[in-house]
Amino acid sequence: MTSFRVFSVVTLLLLNLGVFLGDGLSTHNVSTRPAIVNVGAIFTFDSTIGRVAKVAIQEAVKDINADSTVLPGTTLKMEMRSSNCSGFLGMVGALQFMESDTVAIVGPQSSVVAHIISHVANELQVPLLSFAATDPTLSNLQFPYFVRTTQSDLHQMTAVAEIVDYYTWREVIAIFIDDDYGRNGVLALDDALAARRCRISYKIGIPPGMEYGRSEIMDILVKIALMEARVIVLHVYPDMGYLVFSVARYLGMMEDGYVWIATDWLSSSLDSNFRFTSDKMENMQGVLALRQHTPDSLKKKDFTSKWSKLSGGSFGLNSYGLYAYDTVWLIAHALEAFFSQGGVVSFSNDSRLSAPGLADLHLDAMSVFDGGKLLLDNIWKTDFVGLTGHIKFDSDRNLVNPAYDIINVIGTGFRTVGYWSNGSGLTALAPESIQANQTRGNPALHSVIWPGEIVTKPRGWVFPNNGKLLKIAVPLRVSYKEFVSQVPGSNTSKGFCIDVFVAAVNLLPYAVPYQFIPYGNGKENPSYSKLVNLIAAGVYDGAVGDIAIVTNRTRIVDFTQPYAASGLVVVAPFKKMNTGAWAFLRPFSPTLWAVTAAFFLVVGTVVWILEHRINDEFRGTPKRQIITILWFSLSTLFFAHRENTASTLGRIVLLIWLFVVLIINSSYTASLTSILTVQQLSSPIKGIDTLKKSNDRIGYQVGSFAERYLIDEIGIHESRLVPLGTPDAYAEALQKGSKKGGVAAIVDERPYVELFLSNQCKFRVVGSEFTKSGWGFAFPRDSPLAVDLSTAILSLSENGDLQRIHDKWLIRSGCSTDNAELESDRLHLKSFWGLFLICGIACFIAIFIYFCQVFRRFRDVARATPDTDGSRSRRLQTLISVIDAKKDPRDRDKKRLKVERSISNETNDSELGHNFEQR
């Protein structure tokens, strides 16, 4: 009866505390710097963390009271209560602290208890500092008076996710304790894995308490053993964790192929227990575990060295003990700042709590800490170096520099194989050494001894051992059955794609149980896009066939490495061309003929301009000069020009032009030889561009992605597209042509076209391949089988088996005519524009230099001949006369004599100096 009454009182308190606390407060017990400050502590004494935390908290209080620089004149009094991991008892203990003028509470260590007590702390404005509650949902937005003085599981689960991603595993199984600590931790893991394209394939919660025993754990692990994933994350309490390992070893789940990752519950237990039985350690061989990283320091070393004396040698020190010690110091520093700012320790009662009807609840004993808000602000601003390193809160009110050690259980102990920190990720170096050297850590871990005492990384998955076969869809084609088809009267399939898949599966180091399931109605080729959607929906476990790897499909499924090259090409009818009387014009395109003729005239004119003043062969009557220009230009085509060039500029231009003519002549000769000696094929369709500009009908294969590509990417209207199902339908439609109800061309993937043209000699590929893709096997997203089969396909390609399978099914020799693509055999301007550009630039520079010389001569003549009337016509006549006037040869002779005299004078001066030296 008494227990029921206490329970009723506490329940009513929870329902009414938030309502009645508020107005009508009366203040008592005021002091500026009291002689004693009361601080409470709630945690489970008899637990792995609690045993260590109790000693650490007591030592922290002792050290603080012995330090005169912290809280001078004030004694820190710590009262500790055990919650026994019970939310109810923890709440009762918190309420009892509210009756004794407590300014802060250390703990609780349990996330479950923290959720409950945080409501009380919010109402009574007493800061709650937990050194072990790692639940990420204990945010300061919902619980502003909750202060986490350890690392959140949000960071721990990020470290686990990075380990999973580092070893290229994609699926994990999560076993967790089904309370706030376990559920919310696994939710954080799920989010962290999803950010790295990984996922939890199966998660199972274990109810807290003792009702789950060995048989229940065995049922869970047997179910897990039948699943595909082999990476198991264990997020539980120590006692349950050891039981899981024991059952797992009994079931053979601690052998080769399995990966076990334990959160920091295991490292805390290993650190605080000196002696483990050999059997218990044997159950954990090869397990990876995380441990909160605390950097080495002299302060930590001194505390560790005296720990054996403090604990009486009965248990070791774990990271939570260090955080508990620093939590007490955090309160001391915050109180010192609180008192320095004039804060007073005062508590107030709500007069309404003593109203009629509530007297039996004794709510008037509850007091609100008036300085709670100020003390909380000082806690968030605290900045010091403790046993765990730098104690400071970031903008999200989490401790700065979160980091974890990654340990590997081996033999009778464990070793550190790497580290994870929020700043550098996974590294083999300690985070503080990376920060000190200002270098980025190497994302590599030391070697790990995995379960089964193997050093090679486990694959992380197997095919489920439950008799279930993979459902592999195979397209039921009605055409081009060489690629894939069903054997009549059986459930087996055959073809090029099937042989490649079987050969690749045979190279895998493990067995793949599968069955082929036909997909399609057998009357027309099925839609491959719909097949891919069914794989993404989970109807099929994969698909084997001539499935093109295109963008919209890769968004929903994973493909293997392409085992066959593919791409869209255009097939059209052709006709043989006779050479004819005008065959000599075909080597050049009309544009190239026009540009070449123009350059003959331009070069002739430029040379005439440059030679006109100094070369008699380029002078004479206007009629003669025009004839000279034309004759000189055309004669350069055969290198038969008789006129000599006298100017330097003219010779440079002519030299460059003759080089251009040499290239053009050689190209023309080679192309004309090919036209006259090789049978030419012609088609009015030159490629996809021709089809895009015309209104002709275009054929495509039923079920192919070519339909959507032509509509969405090329922009061809759907009404112009004609679905065709068989090679015979291809041939018939092409022979009819677009105007007679057929098609002008067919757009299809190259492998089909090559097979079609092997016995259809009336059609050819025109233009070039305008898409690049390949065929692959399709599987659901993040399927590990897609990765392993890709490696196997590469091996088939390297050893030649892939080519042999191709030759077996696809090599045909029915058509003797060459299947080369029909492309234009003409030479175009784009092949020579560089030569014409160089020649044009040379002509321009030469003309520019020439006219600069002419204008300088014109200026000299204009100065020598005064212009009395200043008319423009007179100046223009003078300019024309200068341009047309022949340059006097004597000017060149004078220059030559001047140069000779200069050389002679230099020689005489040299001899004179030599004679002088001899004297």
Let me know if residue 753 belongs to a domain: no
Work out the pLDDT band at 576, boundaries 50, 70, 90: low
Q: Which of 725, 775, 772 is nearest to 746 (CA)?
A: 725
Out of 677, 699, 733, a domain closes at 677
Let me know if residue 286 belongs to a domain: yes
Same domain assignment for residues 135 and 169: no
Cα atoms found within 13 Å of the Cα of residue 493, Cβ hemisphere only: 28
Q: Which two tokens stand for residue 771?
A: 């898409």
Confidence at residue 22, expressed as pLDDT on a 0 to 100 scale = 40
Round to whole Å and give the CA distance between 681 and 578. Answer: 9
Same domain assignment for residues 165 and 281: yes
The DSSP string of 749-767 is: EHHHHHHHHTS-TTEEEES
Work out the pLDDT band at 407, boundaries 50, 70, 90: very high
Neighbours of 904 (CB within 10 A): 10
Confidence at residue 321, expressed as pLDDT on a 0 to 100 scale = 95
Task: State the average pLDDT over residues 745-773.
Answer: 88
Task: State the average pLDDT over residues 704-710.
Answer: 90
Same domain assignment for residues 198 and 294: yes
Work out the pLDDT band at 78, boundaries 50, 70, 90: very high
Q: Which of 526, 538, 443 is nearest to 704 (CA)?
A: 526
Q: Across-strand partners of 647?
A: none
Query: Is the distance from CB of 749 to CB of 704 less than 8 angstroms?
Result: yes
C-alpha distances out from residue 28 to 323, 453, 896, Å? 34, 67, 121
**Number of domains, the chain:** 3
The conformation of residue 664, written as its DSSP 8-state character, comes to H
Work out the pLDDT band at 440, boundaries 50, 70, 90: low
Query: Is the distance from CB of 653 to CB of 846 less than 8 angstroms?
Result: yes
Confidence at residue 698, expressed as pLDDT on a 0 to 100 scale = 94
Query: Is the distance from CB of 297 to CB of 266 less than 8 angstroms?
Result: no
Work out the pLDDT band at 107, boundaries 50, 70, 90: confident
C-alpha distances out from residue 357 to 310, 396, 521, 706, 774, Å? 50, 43, 79, 82, 81
Same domain assignment for residues 210 and 260: yes
The conformation of residue 460, written as its DSSP 8-state character, comes to S
Round to whole Å and give the CA distance between 567 and 774. Answer: 7
Out of 359, 391, 423, a domain closes at 391
Let me know if residue 505 belongs to a domain: no
Residue type, 527: S
Confidence at residue 263, expressed as pLDDT on a 0 to 100 scale = 97
Confidence at residue 649, expressed as pLDDT on a 0 to 100 scale = 76
Same domain assignment for residues 242 and 320: no
Query: How confident is the prediction for the chain on average, in pLDDT?
Result: 83
pTM: 0.68
Same domain assignment for residues 85 and 231: no
List, for residues 138-156, the tens digit of each pLDDT value. 877 889 999 999 999 999 9
CATH number at residue 357: 3.40.50.2300
Let me know if residue 414 belongs to a domain: yes
Let me know if residue 881 belongs to a domain: no
Work out the pLDDT band at 873, boundaries 50, 70, 90: low
Please report where in the chains the tokens 């050290």 appear, as a residue: 63
Taking phi over 0 as left and psi of -120 to 50 as alpha, with beta for the rest, 107 belongs to: left
Query: Is the distance from CB of 407 to CB of 318 less than 8 angstroms?
Result: no
The conformation of residue 548, written as its DSSP 8-state character, comes to B
Work out the pLDDT band at 303, boundaries 50, 70, 90: very high
> What's the domain range around 202?
153-298+402-436
Same domain assignment for residues 264 and 285: yes
- Would you say residue 164 has pLDDT above 90? yes
What size, in residues, is the chain? 919
Work out the pLDDT band at 488, boundaries 50, 70, 90: confident
Cα atoms found within 13 Å of the Cα of residue 687, Cβ hemisphere only: 10
Task: State the average pLDDT over residues 426-444.
Answer: 74
Q: Which residue has the higher pLDDT, 273 or 624?
A: 273
Same domain assignment for residues 355 and 237: no
Same domain assignment for residues 288 and 251: yes
Q: Which residue has the higher pLDDT, 708 or 31?
A: 708
Task: Of 19-28, 200-209, 260-269, 805-814, give the range with the top mean pLDDT.
Answer: 260-269
Same domain assignment for residues 350 and 284: no
- Would you say residue 658 has pLDDT above 60? yes
Give the range among 236-245, 633-642, 757-766 with minimum mean pLDDT: 633-642
Confidence at residue 27, expressed as pLDDT on a 0 to 100 scale = 45
Let me know if residue 508 belongs to a domain: no
Same domain assignment for residues 321 and 276: no
Query: Is the distance from CB of 161 to CB of 189 less than 8 angstroms?
Result: yes
Q: Across-strand partners of 26?
A: 349
Let me know if residue 242 belongs to a domain: yes
Let me know if residue 667 belongs to a domain: yes
Same domain assignment for residues 162 and 294: yes
